[in-house]
């Protein structure tokens, strides 16, 4: 059980693409920083839909996307720490 951490937009590099290629169905994906932008693009939102998805709350607020992303699981840093320990490892792509 791995926590995949994406902090760049899929328009910038292929971190999310690579992550999705190797992620197993029991893994979780955490979007932070510009990684949040993936949810604005329909094809990436669809590709993420089979996975347990978490998004860093402050990065959503910083980008003014709170309303737009109201139906995703937003977590704070305390929860990020807890999730890092709950999963066997964290891979930052």
Partner 1 sequence: MALLLGPFLLLMSKFIIQVNGPAYGTSASVNALRFTQAALMGGHQVVCVFFYQDGVYNSTDFSLPASDEYDVVEHWQQLAVQHRVPLVNCVSAALRRGIVSEQDANENALNHWNVSQSFIMGGLGELITSIESADRLISF
Cα–Cα distance measured from residue 76 to residue 93, given in angstroms and rounded to the nearest whole number: 20
Q: Which stretch binds partner 1 (CB under 8 A): 14-22, 41-49, 53-61, 65-73?
A: 53-61
**At its nearest, how many Å lie between partner 1 and the CB of residue 71?**
23
Task: Considering the complex, state which of residue 41 and residue 84 has its C-beta at the smaller distance from partner 1.
Answer: 84
Task: Considering the complex, state which of residue 49 and residue 82 has its C-beta at the smaller distance from partner 1.
Answer: 82
| Residue 75 zone, left/alpha/beta (φ > 0; ψ -120 to 50; rest) | beta
Q: What are the Cα distances from residue 4, in Å, to 54, 64, 71?
A: 10, 24, 20
| Residue 33 zone, left/alpha/beta (φ > 0; ψ -120 to 50; rest) | left
Binding residue for partner 1, selected from 56, 60, 69, 72, defined by CB under 8 A:
56
Q: Is 38 in the site for partner 1 (CB under 8 A)?
A: no
Residue numbers at the binding site for partner 1 (CB under 8 A): 5, 7, 32-34, 56, 58-59, 62, 76-78, 80-82, 84-86, 89-90, 92
């Amino acid at each position: 059980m791995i926590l995949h951490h994406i902090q760049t937009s899929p328009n910038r590099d292929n971190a999310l693409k690579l992550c999705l290629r190797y992620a197993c169905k029991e893994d979780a994906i955490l979007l932070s920083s510009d990684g949040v932008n993936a949810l604005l693009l329909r094809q990436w939102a669809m590709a993420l839909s089979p996975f347990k998805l978490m998004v860093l709350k402050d990065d959503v607020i910083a980008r003014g996307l709170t309303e737009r992303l109201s139906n995703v699981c937003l977590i704070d840093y305390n929860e990020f720490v807890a999730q890092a320990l709950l999963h066997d490892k964290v891979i930052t792509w």
